[in-house]
Structure 1
Amino acid sequence: MTDQVLILGGKGRIGNSVAQDLLAHTQAKITITGRQGKLDLALPQQLQPPVQFLPLDLADQEGLRNAIASHNLVIHCAGPFLYRDATVLNTCIQQGVNYLDVSDNRAFTRKALAFREQAAAAGVTAIVNSGIFPGISNSMVRHDVEQLDFAERIHLSYVVAGSGGAGVTVMRTTFLGLQEPFEAWIDNQWQTVKPYSLRETIQFPAPYGKAGVYWFDMPEALTLVDSFPVKTVITKF
């Protein structure tokens, strides 16, 4: 059976990249959504496969249910996830449709993880936080922790050399993360820290060299504590 993949937010930079990757490496039939406009997916000339465009506002719950029902995988790329609830995930579970997202917000992650048992009971595979961070960073931490007899402290530092061509949504998400204090797991207890505080200088590999990093709220600050019995988890950007 040919996979029918629905990419929510498929006209954005991340959704566009996901669509291109699926087209290059799978035989899936793809539908991308956007609130308005027409299909303008930036595809390599040699691909040119049929990609359907579906105008869809996620606030339209009936339209969302109908769109999900005709697919067997939903990839949620419609951020910023600070403004999203778990409606898409819940609808996928109700419809028996597998789900994946690129979320990067702690509050959204909490809401999504609350559906863990429902997804398992429905036989639905649901994967959250699958972007570069926290997706790849979580995988790197797991790989390293499993090499040790005991891990006491996890420290993640990120350096970004410019925007990398990121879209407006990615930049908005970064600045939104500076608005409010957040809880961090330090010395076996949750403590409140301010974003963009307690600067550290980290020696990154070439070509980045030394760079300053600051406390920044990331989903890893929540999920790594849940996954590993460590005393401290630090996330700095």
Structure 2
Amino acid sequence: MNVLVIGGAGRVGRRVVAELAEHSDHDITIADRVAPGGATAAFVELDLADDVALARALADADAVVNTAGPFDLWGAKVLDAAIEHGVDYIDVCDDPAATQELMKRDPAARAFGVRAVVGLGVSPGLTNYLGVIAARDLDEVDSVATFWGDSREGMDLDEATRHADALAASFTAGRAAYTHLILQTAAEVPVWRNGEPVNERAWRTAYRVRTSNGETGVYRVIGHPEPVTMPQAITLRNCVNIGTVNVGTDRLMLPVLDRVAAGELTPEEAIADIAARLTEHPEDLVSESRGPRLPRLIGAVATGTAGGREQGIIVFPGGPVDGSMSLETARPAVVGVLRIEQAPVGVHAPEGAFDADAFLEHYAAIYWDGGETFLKDVAGPTALTVEES
């Protein structure tokens, strides 16, 4: 199979190329504006603004992996071109508005016999499958929350100072991930409330996830695709995605995000402001421990009833997902390429494209040495609770 990796010279794209080369015998072509140094795969120069160049790049492809953001700018354009050329499609889109736009291409993809999987990274992606597994043990599902990050409760001043300095340096470096973070925390974002889609201001509502062993973390609502797509696969009343930088930084960000929402700061100015606050006030990251940290950096929790009693189920990945974010994002997309012929025709979110158990079994075979596919905790009704902000 000929696989085209758009954005293959970028952080995630390079990882997709390397992982595909290691775990398949597919022919791989990198499509980007500039060739990556030391690349062993074929390369075609591509500016996504050039329709002719995009068509030329897709001409010999059987499947395309799109890692080129921002997806609100390029996602639909690449998917439209893939459909037109009969090329199967996978991306790692984590933008809820872009996801909604991409899903509108389902009728066209069905008409052209194209399989498309949108948002097949670590979150969304693995988190979607964990949410499906968490919900299936409940007779009635009240809420599903996918979550990511480590709230790092329990830092003393020395640890807080070290962490604040490192985090400020990361913010100052200006990675696109931080711009995305600001955009999806300073806005009205789509969530699922009381059985219907609504928009609500992100980062205001905080939730605590707690296992049966008392492992715990605090997370805040952030704009993400899971609440857009998962209610189509699971009958539930509420669905949110929640994340954290750490519990102290999450609180520190709130007034800055208010200024972004009011139009007083650009995302770039907000990033600089947050970095300065971290450097000047590391004591704001000091917090009391409320229990051990959760065993994985991502997971999903479902609450509802089982056997007539309130219940909460938390599901974590079977293996670690604590490598670089670019690597962890690339790996599910690679498994998606390996399984693409098993996906139904049309445009699908991860949970609609592949069976959750089968996908995680394939993932575990490659990346967790064939170990556990997921860890499930029957955590009770306090598995997910609203936290004082």
Q: Structure 1 residues 222 and 52 mapped into 2: Cα distance closer, same or farther (>3 Å)? A: same
- Larger mean CA deviation between 134-143 and 171-180 belongs to 171-180
Question: How many angstroms apart in 1 are the aligned matches of 2:130 and 2:178?
Answer: 24
Structure-to-structure mapping, 1:46-125, within 5 angstroms: 50-125=40-115
Q: Is the 8 A contact 1:80 1:169 kept in 2?
A: no
- Matched residues, number: 223
Q: Structure 1 residues 12 and 160 mapped into 2: Cα distance closer, same or farther (>3 Å)? A: farther
Query: Which of 200, 223, 231 is residue 229 of structure 2 equivalent to?
Result: 223
Residue matched to 1:47: none
Please state how far the C-alpha of 1:26 moved relative to its aligned partner.
0.8
- Larger mean CA deviation between 224-233 and 78-87 belongs to 78-87
Please state how far the C-alpha of 1:194 moved relative to its aligned partner.
1.1
Please state how far the C-alpha of 1:143 moved relative to its aligned partner.
2.1
State the Cα deviation string for residues 87-108 of structure 1 (Å, max 9, x = none): 1111111111111101111111
Query: Which of 158, 163, 175 is residue 148 of structure 2 equivalent to?
Result: 158
Please state how far the C-alpha of 1:205 moved relative to its aligned partner.
10
Q: TM-score, normalised by structure 1?
A: 0.85
Cα RMSD, aligned residues only: 2.4
- 5+ residue gaps, structure 1, are 43-49
- Answer 1 or 2: which has greater helix percent: 2
Asked if residue 180 in structure 1 is aligned to residue 159 in structure 2, the reply is no
Q: Structure 1 residues 210 and 167 mapped into 2: Cα distance closer, same or farther (>3 Å)? A: farther
Q: What secondary structure, in the 3-state scheme, does the structure 1 residue paired with 2:236 have?
A: coil
What is the letter of the counterpart of residue 37 of structure 2? D
Query: Which of 179, 201, 211 is residue 194 of structure 1 equivalent to?
Result: 201
Q: Is the 8 A contact 1:12 1:167 kept in 2?
A: no
Residue matched to 1:46: none
Structure-to-structure mapping, 1:8-47, within 5 angstroms: 8-36=6-34, 38-40=35-37
Please state how far the C-alpha of 1:146 moved relative to its aligned partner.
2.9
Q: Structure 1 residues 192 and 119 mapped into 2: Cα distance closer, same or farther (>3 Å)? A: closer
Please state how far the C-alpha of 1:144 moved relative to its aligned partner.
2.5
Please state how far the C-alpha of 1:225 moved relative to its aligned partner.
1.6
Q: Structure 1 residues 54 and 167 mapped into 2: Cα distance closer, same or farther (>3 Å)? A: farther
Q: Is the 8 A contact 2:5 2:29 kept in 1?
A: yes
Question: How many angstroms apart in 1 are the aligned matches of 2:235 and 2:121?
Answer: 24
What is the letter of the counterpart of residue 192 of structure 1? N
Query: Which of 124, 132, 149 is residue 139 of structure 2 equivalent to?
Result: 149
Q: Which has the higher contact order (CA 8 A, sep 6+)?
A: 2
What is the letter of the counterpart of residue 228 of structure 1? I
Greater Cα radius of gyration, structure 1 or 2: 2
Question: How many angstroms apart in 1 are the aligned matches of 2:64 and 2:38?
Answer: 18
Question: How many angstroms apart in 1 are the aligned matches of 2:140 and 2:233?
Answer: 13
- 5+ residue gaps, structure 2, are 152-166, 244-389
- Larger mean CA deviation between 137-146 and 17-26 belongs to 137-146
Q: Structure 1 residues 103 and 128 mapped into 2: Cα distance closer, same or farther (>3 Å)? A: same
Q: Structure 1 residues 203 and 152 mapped into 2: Cα distance closer, same or farther (>3 Å)? A: closer
State the Cα deviation string for residues 213-233 of structure 1 (Å, max 9, x = none): 111011011101222221111
Question: How many angstroms apart in 2 are the aligned matches of 1:169 and 1:86?
Answer: 20
Matched-pair identity in %: 27
Please state how far the C-alpha of 1:203 moved relative to its aligned partner.
4.1
Q: Is the 8 A contact 2:210 2:217 kept in 1?
A: yes
Q: Structure 1 residues 41 and 119 mapped into 2: Cα distance closer, same or farther (>3 Å)? A: farther
Residue matched to 1:5: 3
State the Cα deviation string for residues 180-234 of structure 1 (Å, max 9, x = none): 212321122334321111223434799xx54331110110111012222211112
Q: What secondary structure, in the 3-state scheme, does the structure 2 residue paired with 1:134 have?
A: coil
Question: How many angstroms apart in 2 are the aligned matches of 1:205 and 1:105?
Answer: 32
